[in-house]
């Protein structure tokens, strides 16, 4: 049996338009189960055991912004932990795509749903021949947003007959953490293009040039097809 796993995360929410949150991003990370990532996971676990911080679930956004569990963590440690997870993303046999909506053009939940649905349906339809080669396609999402949960179920169910859905805890899957990192970096890309990186983001990434050199140009090599 040939199986494809799709790990999904999001950045943003379905509330009204807020200039401070100008984008809604849905990341999809694809993993063909015939390509083992056990060694990659073991390397990541070994690389993070020495950090005096929660490593069971690396949450990229708070790590960059020094929020939540990382509030009292030194910059050097936060960058190092981010780098370990990014290295995992680089060496793992995975690909990704990102669905992006500008909230200024989709200021309410209904319009946002239409925009995201059109993009995701277009992506699935365009690459249908790829997805149907699998006996089973398993979509992993933490059901963090009801609107997105319903959208994913409707669209994947409409396009694919071989799809299953699983609710996940982020701490249990490194590839869900990879999807979270994709959201963080794609958001940083968009903000950098508009010279709108926050002070904490500029401090973490050093500069727009370093953001591209260290992360984005490597991430681009993982894009789906």
- pLDDT tens digits, 86-133: 999 999 999 999 999 999 999 999 999 999 999 999 999 999 999 999
**Cα-based distances in Å from 159 to 6, 9, 110, 125, 135:** 15, 20, 21, 7, 14
d(CA 140, CA 199): 33
Q: What is the pLDDT of residues 30-50, one digit of tens each?
A: 999 999 999 999 999 999 988
What CATH number is associated with residue 72?
3.30.420
Q: What is the pLDDT of residue 170?
A: 85
- Closest alpha carbon to 109 in 9, 13, 10: 13
pLDDT of residue 195 exceeding 80, the answer is yes
Q: Is the pLDDT assigned to residue 188 strictly greater than 70? A: yes
Percent over 90 (pLDDT), the chain: 91
- Whether the CB-CB separation of 18 and 194 falls below 8 Å is answered with no
Q: Which two tokens stand for residue 97?
A: 């795509």
Domain range for residue 9? Answer: 3-222
Nearest CA-CA partner of 138 in 30, 35, 36, 222: 30
Q: Assign 57 a pLDDT band (cuts: 50, 70, 90).
A: confident
- Tell me what pLDDT residue 108 has: 96
Place of tokens 């999904």: 8
Can you tell me which residue has the tokens 């690909």?
95
pLDDT tops 70 at residue 146: yes
Q: Is the pLDDT of residue 171 over 70?
A: yes
Binned at pLDDT 50, 70 and 90, residue 225 comes out as confident
Q: What is the mean pLDDT of residues 65-73?
A: 92
User: What value, to the nearest 5°, has the Cα angle with vertex 98 and ends 47 and 11?
Assistant: 75
Residues 6+ away with beta carbon under 8 Å from 39: none
**pLDDT at residue 56 greater than cutoff 80:** no
Task: Give the pLDDT score at 54.
Answer: 62
Q: Using a CB cutoff of 8 Å and minimum separation of 24, what contacts does 40-47 make?
A: 40/88, 40/91, 40/92, 40/174, 41/88, 41/174, 43/88, 43/91, 44/84, 44/85, 44/87, 44/88, 44/174, 47/84, 47/87
User: Would the pLDDT of 209 be above 70?
Assistant: yes
- Give the pLDDT score at 55: 63
Q: How many domains, in total, are found in the chain? A: 1
User: How much is the pLDDT for 49?
Assistant: 87
Q: Give the other-Cβ count within 10 Å of 45's Cβ.
A: 14
Percentage of the chain with pLDDT > 70?
98
Tokens read off for 24: 């809604």
The SS3 call for residue 176 is helix
Output the pTM of the full model: 0.96
**Contact 190/23 with Cβ under 8 angstroms?**
yes
């Amino acid at each position: 049996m040939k199986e494809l796993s799709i790990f999904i995360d999001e950045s943003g929410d379905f509330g009204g338009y807020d200039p401070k949150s100008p984008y809604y991003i849905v990341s999809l990370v694809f993993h063909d189960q015939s390509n083992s990532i056990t060694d990659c996971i073991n390397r990541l676990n070994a690389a993070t055991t020495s950090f005096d911080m929660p490593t069971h679930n690396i949450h990229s956004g708070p790590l960059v912004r020094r929020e939540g569990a990382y509030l009292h963590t030194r910059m050097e440690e936060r960058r190092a932990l981010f780098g370990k997870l990014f290295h995992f993303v680089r060496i793992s046999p995975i690909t990704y795509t990102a669905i992006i909506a500008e909230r200024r053009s989709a200021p309410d939940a209904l319009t946002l749903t239409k925009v995201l649905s059109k993009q995701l349906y277009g992506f699935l339809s365009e690459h249908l021949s790829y997805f149907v080669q699998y006996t089973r396609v398993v979509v992993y999402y933490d059901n963090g947003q009801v609107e997105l949960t319903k959208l994913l179920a409707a669209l994947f169910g409409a396009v694919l007959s071989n799809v299953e859905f699983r609710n996940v805890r982020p701490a249990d899957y490194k590839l869900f953490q990879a999807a979270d990192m994709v959201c963080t970096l794609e958001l940083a890309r968009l903000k950098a293009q508009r010279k709108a990186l926050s002070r904490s983001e500029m401090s973490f990434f050093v500069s727009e040039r370093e953001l591209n050199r260290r992360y984005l140009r490597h991430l681009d090599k993982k894009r789906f097809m």
